[in-house]
Amino acid sequence: MSSAVVEEKFHGELSDSARDSEDDSLLSNGDLPVPRRPSSTCQGIWSRVQTLTLYLTNIITLSVLLAVVLRPTRQVTDPSLDGVYSPAASSVEYYVHRFESAFYNRTAYMGTPSPELNDRWMGLSEYGLSKINDDQAKRLYEPTMSNLDNRSEHLVTLDVFHQLHCLFSIRKYFWPEYYPYDKKLNADGTEDKTTLDWLHWDHCIDSIRQSLMCSGDITPVVYHIDPRGHGIFPKLQGTHVCRKWDKIVEWAKEHDGSDSRFEFKEGDAELDLYRLDPQGYLEKGGSE
């Protein structure tokens, strides 16, 4: 081999070594790694994952918001609505209510009678008579009577209106100067308490007793120091879970039966049946 060829080969190898040394210097400059550009396939997958995650997050957030907004009013399970059918059961809603203090203070239903106070009490049982349809009447635990002018309208009174009527009647007794009644005296000067008025009051007192014992409000009445400092006394304006009164009245108003006929007239089938068998008629659906 000639010297010229050897020299050319030497210079070529030296040139390659210098280039490799320069590349190593660039790669190690500042010890910075040289990032690799991801492939287009990896970029596409990552983009789809991000988009899907965003969609799922939005769907979950929207679902939670809709669940909160559209959540129905919480209903308390009340076994009394399941045992004996009431056509007004659909009107029952509950809320927490604090009773008003009614001893030294006066509520809207207390005090000396006045036209306004009288109207307030009368209004409590204004829609005391309700009419229901055939299907509702068939579901009643006990049979009822129909409107004598319309046999497809069946008459009922929600018991709470009867109790309020009774309570108002008892209240009237304590204000005879405003609500006079036919007071009769015995031979010895004492009041005759066998009259219809007294029979009514006696009935009302026991009817309210039964209603209170039936509902059996178990709300705890707590005790506090009497404002006059005489000792520890019950704090009667406690907090209770109550049925919404306005909802019950609304149902009764929608089913108002105050225009129904009660008095018999000749030709009424009910009157003929009663005349034939008074006791049997009452047992099959007549009133007490």
Percent of the chain with pLDDT over 70: 74
pLDDT single digits (tens) 66-94: 664 455 544 556 777 778 999 999 999 99
Tell me whether strands 146-147 and 150-156 are parallel, antiparallel or unpaired.
Answer: antiparallel
Indicate if the pLDDT at residue 228 is higher than 70: yes
The reported pLDDT for the residue numbered 279 is: 62
165 compared with 47, residue with greater pLDDT: 165
Residue with the larger pLDDT of the pair 124 and 4: 124
The confidence band for 284, taking pLDDT boundaries of 50, 70 and 90, is low
- Nearest C-alpha neighbor of 159 from the set 210, 96, 216, 108: 210
Both structure tokens of 77: 């399970």
61: tokens are 């957030």
pLDDT of residue 4: 47
Q: Encode pLDDT of 114-166 as tens digits.
A: 999 999 999 999 999 999 999 999 999 999 999 989 999 999 999 999 999 99
Instruction: Give me the pLDDT at residue 47, please.
Output: 73
Question: 97 has which bridge partners?
Answer: 240
Percent of the chain whose pLDDT exceeds 90 = 53
For position 86, what pLDDT does the model report? 96
- What are the C-alpha distances in Å from 275 to residues 155, 261, 269? 22, 19, 10
CA distances from 13 to 9, 43, 133, 225 (A): 6, 42, 111, 108
Is residue 164 a contact partner of residue 198, using CB atoms and an 8 Å limit?
Answer: no
What tokens does 267 get? 């030709």
- The identity of residue 91, as a single letter, is S
- Structure confidence at residue 52 as a pLDDT band (50, 70, 90): confident
Q: What is the pLDDT of residues 175-212, one digit of tens each?
A: 999 999 989 999 999 999 999 999 999 999 999 999 99
The rounded radius of gyration (Å) of the Cα atoms in the chain is 43
Burial 179-203 (b: 16+ CB within 10 A, else e): eeeeeeeeeeeeeeeeeebbeebee
Cβ(255)–Cβ(131) below 8 Å = yes
Task: Using the predicted structure, report yes or no on whether residue 2 has a pLDDT greater than 50.
Answer: no
Break the chain into its structural domains and give their ranges.
Answer: 86-283
In this prediction, residues 212-224 reach a mean pLDDT of 94
| DSSP structure string for 104-172 | SS--TT-SS--HHHHHHHHHHTTT--EEE-HHHHHT-SS--PEETTEEEEEEE--HHHHHHHHHHHHHH
Count of helices and strands (H, E) across the chain: 10, 7
Mean pLDDT, rounded, for 255-270: 88
Residue 236 — very low, low, confident or very high, per pLDDT cuts 50/70/90?
confident
- The angle formed by the CA atoms of residues 32, 36 and 39, to the nearest 5 degrees, is 165
Q: What is the residue-averaged pLDDT of the chain?
A: 81
Q: What is the rounded distance in angstroms from the CA atom of residue 153 to the CA atom of residue 145? A: 9
First to last CA, the chain: 141
Q: What is the pLDDT of residue 269?
A: 82
Give the range among 17-21, 101-105, 123-127, 262-266 with minimum mean pLDDT: 17-21
State both tokens at 186: 């015995």
